Amino acid sequence: MDQIDRALLRLLHADGRATYNDLGKQVRLSANTVADRVRRLRSAGVISGIHADLDPTALGRTLHMVSDIRLRESTGRAAFERGLADIPQVVSGARVTGDFDYQLRLACLDAAEFERTIDLLKRDHGVLQVRSRLVLHDIPLDGTRLLDA
């Protein structure tokens, strides 16, 4: 990956809808050359997708929680992870090391919906224990900083 690829990644990160022509003007290449480079970056897995970032708060989900999850011994990881797709309040998750098995990010309408979500996880998804913390605010960090590492 060269400096032009890095510049293209920064531009796409800022505006995933930019045309190859617009990108080409900014990096001084033809639209066809930019398209070839972007295809190569996608094939290499550097670009895994281009999507819209949704703001849960703008959608009315103003209660954001980070929840540590411990599964029952009998709960399979694959089944638990598949089941998360059916819970819209779970906006992201990670399998982690330490005292808990997973860390989930939840976006709920209010405390009552949060409570229902935790009850659902325990009742239907093999969760034994939950430890949650209220998110006060997010810290916006630019993912393109990885290009400088």
Q: What is the pLDDT along the chain (149 residues), one digit of tens a residue?
A: 899 999 999 999 999 999 999 999 999 999 999 999 999 999 999 999 988 888 999 999 999 999 999 999 999 999 999 999 999 999 999 999 999 999 999 999 999 999 999 999 999 999 999 999 999 999 988 888 888 87
- Which residue's entry shows tokens 């033809």? 30
Q: 140 in a domain, yes or no?
A: no
Query: Which uninterrupted H or E stretch holds 81?
Result: helix 77-84
Same domain flag for 98 and 129: yes
The burial class, CB within 10 Å (0-12 / 13-18 / 19+), for 4 is: middle
Q: 30 in a domain, yes or no?
A: yes
Query: Residue 69 in contact with residue 127, Cβ under 8 Å?
Result: yes
For 105, the domain range is 63-134
Tally of CB atoms within 10 A around 22:
13
Total domain count, the chain? 2
Rounded distance between C-alpha atoms, residue 9 and residue 5, angstroms: 6
- Give the CATH number for residue 102: 3.30.70.920
Same domain flag for 118 and 69: yes
Same domain flag for 78 and 25: no
What's the whole-number average pLDDT of the chain? 95
Among residues 23, 121, 14, the alpha carbon closest in space to that of 67 is found at 121
Structure tokens at 121: 């996880």
Among residues 96, 103, 109, 135, the alpha carbon closest in space to that of 121 is found at 103
Q: 0.85 cut: is pTM over it?
A: no
Same domain flag for 75 and 129: yes
